[in-house]
Amino acid sequence: MNLTFNGVWRMDWGFGNPNITAAFIVCLLVLVWLPAFLWHRGFWWSLLPSIILGICLFHTMSRGGIVGGAVGLGLLVLFSPRPWPKARLVAGGLAFWVVIIGGFFLNAHERFGQGVVQEDKSISHRLAIWQCSPQMLAANPQGWGWNESGQAYMDWFQPLDKHESYGSLVNTHLSKVVELGVIGGSLYLFLWATLLLAGWPSNGSRWRAAPFAMLAGFGIAALFTNMAREPLVWILPALCGAAIVVDRLVRRETPNWRNMIVAGLACFSAVFILYFIGKGREPIVSVSNNAVVIGRGVPEYWIVMDSDRFKSYPRDFRKFVADHPETYFAVVKSVVDLPNNLTKPLLVLKDTNAHEDSVLLRKATSVTFLSPQFAPSELPTQLKARAIYGEFSNSRYAVFWDEQKLSRRIPGVSDFIPNWTNNLLAPFVLSITNDR
């Protein structure tokens, strides 16, 4: 996929995303200055490739990449040995302006200015997603699962009038915190803090400035896109992290435990602050024991969903609750996830097998099945069961449920049930309400 801006190709090195390419270039841009920290004349070996990589970075037109590159190079300047010879100052200044002029020649400055004088959708979409991250964390403190943050956002938190697709929260660190939960997300941030603290250059290992600056620049670039789906882009950061650890072990440099404790407290505090911000917003979705509770209150109805058959069910539920704010649902994908001794009405919208049926019968007392592939006589007499079939269903079991007047037929449909919230959910809620 080739992305362009105002007719200019945004450089991509096969990652399929110029922002990820920019993060990879940031790693290379910082690491090419390693020779300058290893020997006296290394500066001149690093200068030319850094100019080329700097222009490539501008060619990606990635704002996050530019910020990451600026942070990485800025740290290198901070840790570079002084005094700076005049020749190097002149050469460095000329190199800087060559890269800047190259960026203007590529019209990269026009994209960098977007969002300042006019709205930029890539920025506004990011901000909208990031604002939901505290609610997502509060809704599921155990985490939504690895690489599942984008799907969770689209399903349960994206405004119903929006339909953009996302594979993450467009922020590596926020995505991992939401996916790993309060404890796992805190440990993830602490790992980053530990590597940065370990990589801080010492008098005997000034060369660690390069991997330290690279990790910092890469971490900043990762704030603006998701790197987790591209394992290749993590190779250089992983190698730098390993080199830092090995150097520490060889030199027997012990950690500064006070800094480690402060960093750990800061990481855990940041995640818990996000969590409490989300709790304060009272999300209408929460997750507990693999059950998604929709609505603000104790669930009145439990539903076992077939996510393959009803692919958009999360958004459908949210629309239904928006129209019926007095209803509270708990949704699971397997009968195994139902609580024991369930006294609430249960709607099963998936085909169950013999094992699931045996589990179901031990957990519930009142069940409504969608197109069950068994007769009511196969169920224990103490179970209050009903069935829903389409008017033209081909199921051979439908007649048995009809004979005992335990079925409801949906007019005008067969086994495929269109508009399921009106045809299945609303009648189920109404029937339970009338029975009370």
Of residues 204 and 209, the one with the higher pLDDT is 209
Residues 311-329 pLDDT 10s = 899 999 999 888 888 888 8
Report d(CA 364, CA 346) in Å as an integer: 7
Mean pLDDT of 136-155: 94
pLDDT band at 139 (very low <50, low <70, confident <90, very high): very high
Task: Report which listed range, 12-26, 160-174, 263-277, is most confident.
Answer: 263-277
Mean pLDDT of 265-294: 90
One DSSP character per residue, 261-287 reads HHHHHHHHHHHHHHHHHHHHT--SEEE
Report d(CA 134, CA 136) in Å as an integer: 5
Report d(CA 125, CA 427) in Å as an integer: 37
Provide CB contacts within 8 A for 168, sequence distance 6+: 147, 149, 150, 175, 226, 228, 229
- Token pair of 227 as six digits: 């790197």
Mean pLDDT of 60-86: 92
Residues 410-425 pLDDT 10s = 999 998 888 899 889 8
Q: At 23, which helix (H) or strand (E)?
A: helix 18-31
Query: 11 pLDDT exceeds 90?
Result: no
Of residues 382 and 167, the one with the higher pLDDT is 167
Report d(CA 418, CA 412) in Å as an integer: 10
pLDDT given at position 5: 60
Using only C-alpha atoms, what is the Rg of the chain?
A: 29
Counting Cβ atoms within 10 Å, is residue 414 exposed (0-12), middle (13-18) or buried (19+)?
middle
The alpha carbon of residue 251 and the mean position of all alpha carbons in its chain are separated, in whole angstroms, by 38
Walk across the sheet containing 407-410 and list its strands. 285-288, 291-294, 329-332, 301-305, 346-349, 366-370, 384-390, 407-410
pLDDT given at position 116: 47
3-state class of 150 per DSSP?
helix
Q: What is the mean pLDDT of the chain?
A: 89
Of 131, 147, 240, 134, the C-alpha closest to 192 is: 240
Query: 406 pLDDT exceeds 80?
Result: yes
Query: pTM for this structure?
Result: 0.89
Residue with the two structure tokens 């029937």: 431
Cis status, amide bond into 211, omega within 30 of 0 = no
Query: 107 pLDDT exceeds 80?
Result: no
Of 53, 57, 59, the C-alpha closest to 32 is: 53
pLDDT band at 83 (very low <50, low <70, confident <90, very high): confident
SS (H, E, C) 161-227: CCCCCCCCCCCHHHHHHHHHHHHHHHHHHHHHHHHHHHHCCECCEHHHHHHHHHHHHHHHHHHHCCC
Query: 156 pLDDT exceeds 50?
Result: yes
